[in-house]
Amino acid sequence: MELVRAGNRSILFIMAAPPEYGPALRARFTPLMTGVGPVEAGLSVGAALARLEIRGETPDLAVCLGSAGSRTLEQTEIYQVASVSYRDIDASPLGIPAGLTPYLDLPRDLPLQVLLPDLPAVRLSTGGAVISGAAYDAIDADMVDMETFAVARACMAHGVPLAGLRGVSDGADDLRHMDDWKAYLHVIDERLAEVVDRLLVVAAG
């Protein structure tokens, strides 16, 4: 893990899994690698930000990036995250709408930083399950992942703005094997790297 300088700003890049971290991204930064799923992501990011805070090195911006699934968006294209929701939380038997955490005064969809006006920004849904096929019918969002909401909550706790970048790796067809997810990761790596270069220029202001 390292903080990347963009002008006077420091940026922490956050990813979930090594297969998403290809040679193009490796040439640009060393991310905080969280592990897969909301629990690992929240734990890793919260602990890392606490350590940085103690050292007086709290980043000015965090960027969570990697792959995502979508049944409607173009595969291998890169999208910014306009907002993120948590699809696993459902207290509706208590009269609380699904997607809202009890006793937490936050909207269902948490807005994230959108830094590149010419790159499409879409809604993301985070949860602990891999989504495939008919499971998309229950998803009220454009893309799905397994970490960004947890990362957003950890960043909120430490006062760090968060931006999200996701490349669509799957969703057009059912997932049947790990290789189905990995098939386009090399393309997404290169395209994410190009967007990261543009983001660093904008962040440097």
**53-74 pLDDT per residue, tens:** 999 999 999 999 999 999 999 9
What pLDDT is recorded for position 176?
86
- pLDDT grade, residue 174 (50/70/90)? confident
pTM for the structure as a whole:
0.95
What pLDDT is recorded for position 180?
86
pLDDT mean over 90-97: 95
Is residue 172 scored above 90 in pLDDT? no
Helix, strand, or coil (residue 83): strand
Residue 84: both structure tokens together: 């993120």
* Sign, CA torsion 9/125/79/112: negative
Is residue 2 scored above 90 in pLDDT? yes
Measured between alpha carbons, how far is 31 from 25 in angstroms, rounded to an integer?
9
